[in-house]
Amino acid sequence: MAKLIYVTNVSLDGYIEDERGAFDWFPPDDEVFTFTTNLLRSVGTFLYGRRLYETMAVWETDAALAAQSGLMADFASAWQAANKVVYSTTLTAASTAVTSLERRFDPAVVHQLKATAGRDITVGGANLAAQAMRAGLVDECQLFVWPTAVGGGKPGLPTGVRADFALLDERRFQNGVVHLRYRTLGH
């Protein structure tokens, strides 16, 4: 059975966006970027909310982005290779290949996807991840903790959901970012 992994960048105080809805407070870094690309290569399907999907779609729709460097081209290639499922009530069409649209998150469908997928699945976007956590579907959380506090915004982990985790691995990067990999207990 494939694992459902919640992967996100968070500030030191636990936010994925600041109070303005921005997440530009973490600058690009080659070491973290390469690590993230390798993580994406191991994934067969990305589950996204509309907003995160629209942010990430540029890795397929803007060829100039991938042309900037070999690292950017590798990331674009890894992102494009995976299937994408976008959950949105407002999006009318996907702008990328191998992408399907769903109007609502159905835990039974995601459970079936986990049972039949040949590779792991990531869930991205705090709201979608919260739904998956509430349904008991998230097997791992992988957090990239950036050394900045933004003072408020959108929490990286859902509020009102109790979950216990066991630390599987950690990695410290030269720029102060720490990658934490946790297994959800009970999985």
pLDDT, position 47: 98
Which structural domains are found in the chain, ordered by start? Answer: 4-184 (3.40.430.10)
CB of 101 within 8 A of CB of 94?
A: yes
Helix (H) or strand (E) holding 101: strand 99-102
Q: What is the CA radius of gyration of the chain?
A: 16
**Predicted confidence band at 185 (pLDDT cuts at 50, 70, 90)?**
very high
pTM of the predicted protein model: 0.95
pLDDT, position 187: 64
